[in-house]
Amino acid sequence: MLPYVLAGVAGMLLFYTATQIEFHRRTGVLGPDFWPKLILMLLIVVCVYEIVRIALAKNLDDGTAGILEEVARGVETTPGPDISPPQSQPLLVLTGMAATLAYVALVATTGFFLTTAVYIAAFLLIGGYRKTKIIVAMSVGGALVLMFIFMKLVYVSLPIGSGLFGQLTILLMKLMGIR
């Protein structure tokens, strides 16, 4: 129970700290304190749930430990067959690093949506996935979902790109109701 008590107390202290964030409130817009408070509240709720579950448990040795208890004990959360470690793939690691560097270099010019879609597709291909329809759906869908979350829900300003890339981003923003 101790890991949940410690995590819960830390969550409460951090929640209190988040209530001290000063900013100018605007009607109808989430403030910068919303997401930290939400995440910390979820942490506190999970900790309280686990504390109550453990306190009411009849048999603590039945192998139904929570995640924090297993981490604290150093126990794997999912027992499985003894699998040897995968082979090292330095070329794939270097390719992934090159893709990341290309993403950083191009995102200002090509915009968040297009660059992220290509980046997701590149990582799926680098990882060995070869189903083209799934790659296209995941990369386009993933980029749209990330764009929506960051721009519409979290209010993060993302690069729109320049020229035709910027026009594409602005069109997508209009279609998704992002201002």
Q: Is the pLDDT of residue 77 over 80?
A: no
What pLDDT does residue 165 have?
95
Per the structure, the complete domain to which residue 112 belongs is given by: 90-175
Domain boundary among 73, 100, 125: 73
Residue 24 covered by a domain: yes
Whether 139 is covered by a domain: the verdict is yes
d(CA 103, CA 146): 15
Residue 113 is encoded by which pair of tokens?
């949506």
Tokens of 9: 């107390």
- Summarize pLDDT for 106-160 with one digit per residue, the tens: 999 999 999 999 999 999 999 999 999 999 999 999 999 999 998 988 878 899 9
The total number of structural domains in the chain stands at: 2
Q: How distant, in Å, are the alpha carbons of 21, 40, 54, 88, 178 from that of 33?
A: 6, 11, 32, 42, 21
Residue 109 domain flag = yes
